[in-house]
Amino acid sequence: MGGKNSIGRVGPRALWLFCAALTAAGTLLGQAPTGPLPPRPGAPVQQPPKNEIKVQVALVTTPVTVRDSRGVMVHDLEAKNFEVTDNGIAQKISHFDLGGDPISLVILVETSSRIEPLMPEMRKTGILFTETVMGPTGEAAVVGFNDSVDKLQDFTGNADNIESTIANLGLGTSGAKLYDAMAAGVEMLSGRPQATREMPGRRRVLMILSEAVDDGSQKRLGEVLRQAELENVTIYGVGLSTTRAELRSKPKPPKVPNLPVGTLPPPPGVPNSPSVQSSVSGGVDLMALAVWVVQHVHDEVKGNSLEVAAAATGGAALSTFKDRSVEKAIDEIGGELHSQYTLSYTPTDANALGYHEIKVSVVRGDGKNLKIRTRPGYYLAPPES
């Protein structure tokens, strides 16, 4: 008989032994422990991966405004004249510019019925935004806010579109969701390209024409500013005065007009410049308040919101009370933006959670006599689970 049929000649006892062996093997496999097998003798024990929380900032950009003792802006500094520290650690400047990087601008305009007397003046400011602030290489978007936040014009470099949007601003309800509008503006700017060592980029600027009060927002100022700092957005404020609006709408002014919050004049003998407005407000240390607001995002801030926002991001807040008009304030801000230094760096300790303090100093013979304004820092929080 051939070998093909040899299995048929296996006896009953041999077949029984073969089946028993298979059953035993199945039992042993069923009893195998779940999970990783123990290591071989002498082999290192494999550790489970650590659940580490990492938050990394790829790029920090800070505007730097430098003025001499007379308040005149200084334009002859080079990258080698600046020293930047992040939490006390010296940083390497990867990008340096003086007023040349093109601007991406979001214009936030209060359209509340409370500022109706000022609206004719505001509708004339379009050409200032396009010529003085944007410049030939800039782009802008327009957002109006009252009880709602409305995108009136998306980003465009077309000056006619921006000017037409501003000229046709309409009035809304009496609310003013300032913080919600700021959050929308920061979100819009977060998508604009930033400069790196290899690639040109855009400066992200948020300019607010508003009263220094919020009415009805879901967002809080601290959380908006925390995000603005992480997205390298610089905030400028043009404080609209409801008192000024009332003076224009009534034939007789009140006997004792009250200065509105956020539009205080400078101390006696000090020139009224953006650098003053961003650091002095009725004895309030705006830099310290800005840092506190960013660290305590769930706490409310009463008053000084435009000044705090500007101080937190390296911008400036200008009043429009007394002799400064809305047009003049916009013109001053535009002049500063195109005479301002921009410094960028990648933090050497980019994973450290908490507040990162930024300090900028000028290394030059007259450095001690120069006045430097920049953003105080930024806050890194763990990602939400």
pLDDT digits (tens, 9 = 90+) for 272-299: 434 333 444 455 788 999 999 999 988 8
Domains and CATH numbers, the chain: 99-340 (3.40.50.410)
Provide the token pair at 32. Answer: 């195998």
pLDDT greater than 80 at residue 339:
yes
pLDDT greater than 60 at residue 227:
yes
Give the Å distances, CA to CA, from 203 to 20, 137, 144, 275, 302.
79, 11, 22, 19, 30
Do strands 139-145 and 103-110 pair parallel, antiparallel, or not at all (unpaired)? parallel
The predicted model scores a pTM of 0.77
Q: Report the pLDDT averaged over residues 80-94.
A: 96
pLDDT greater than 70 at residue 41:
no
User: What is the DSSP secondary-structure string of 166-200?
Assistant: HHT-----S-B-HHHHHHHHHHHHTTS----SSS-
> What pLDDT is stored for residue 313 in this prediction?
97
Q: In whole angstroms, what is the distance from residue 314 CA to residue 336 CA?
A: 12
Residue-wise pLDDT for 172-184, tens only, equals 999 999 999 999 9
pLDDT greater than 90 at residue 271:
no
Residues 6+ apart with CB under 8 A from 364: 77, 81, 370
Q: In whole angstroms, what is the distance from residue 342 CA to residue 117 CA?
A: 37
> What pLDDT is stored for residue 317 in this prediction?
95
Do strands 82-86 and 89-90 pair parallel, antiparallel, or not at all (unpaired)? antiparallel
Mean of the per-residue pLDDT values of the chain = 81
Q: Which residue has the higher pLDDT, 310 or 304?
A: 310
pLDDT greater than 60 at residue 44:
no
> What pLDDT is stored for residue 100 in this prediction?
87
pLDDT greater than 70 at residue 21:
no
Residues 6+ apart with CB under 8 A from 209: 107, 108, 109, 110, 122, 125, 238, 240, 326
Least confident of 51-65, 242-256, 316-330: 242-256
pLDDT greater than 50 at residue 370:
yes
Task: Report the largest interatomic distance among the alpha carbons of the chain, rounded to a whole angstrom.
Answer: 128
Answer for the pair 83, 89: CB distance below 8 angstroms, yes or no: no
